[in-house]
Amino acid sequence: MRRFIRRTLELTGLDMDRLLEAANGKEALEILRRERVDLVLTDINMPSMNGEEFVAEVEADANLRSIPVVVVSTDSTQQAVRRMIQLGARGYVAKPFEPEILREELERVLGVGHE
C-alpha cells in the first residue's frame, strides 16, 4: 500500500522534495521526532500502534501537534471519520480513491492549490 500511495503522490503533481516511510506508528513517531516533515499520511489499521493511537500521540506531543495528519483508510464510515478528526487528524481520504481526490485533500490541508 505504501508503494501505491507513493506512486499516487507522484501522479498528483504536488511538489515533494522527499517522502519518508514508516512500517508502523511507532516507527513513524521516531521519524517525526528527528525529521522535519510538512504532512503525515496514516492508516487506521497498522501493526504495533493503530491510527487512533498514532494520531492521539502526535496531538499529545507539543513538538508534533502542528504537523497535519491525513488518514487514508478503507473505513469510510462517518463514525471513523469523526473519531479521527476528534483525535486531531486534519483530513481523511477513503480507499479506494482517485489521485485527484488525494491531491485535493492534501492541498486543502496544506492550504495550497493549483493555479
pLDDT tens digits, one per residue of 19-51: 899 989 999 999 999 999 999 999 998 888 999
Q: Looking at residue 28, what is its pLDDT?
A: 95
Task: Look at residue 112 in the predicted model and tell me its pLDDT.
Answer: 82
Which residue in 14, 110, 99, 31 sits closest to 68, CA to CA? Answer: 110
Q: What's the mean pLDDT when you consider all of the chain?
A: 90
Give CATH for domain 2-13+21-110.
3.40.50.2300
Q: What is the pTM for the complete model shown? A: 0.90
* Continuous segment of H or E residues that includes residue 94: strand 91-94
* Number of Cβ atoms within 10 Å of the Cβ of 29: 18
Sequence ranges of the domains in the chain: 2-13+21-110
Q: Is pLDDT of 1 > 90?
A: no
Residue 8 and residue 31: Cα distance in Å, rounded? 22
The Cβ of residue 108 has, within 10 Å, a number of other Cβ atoms equal to 14
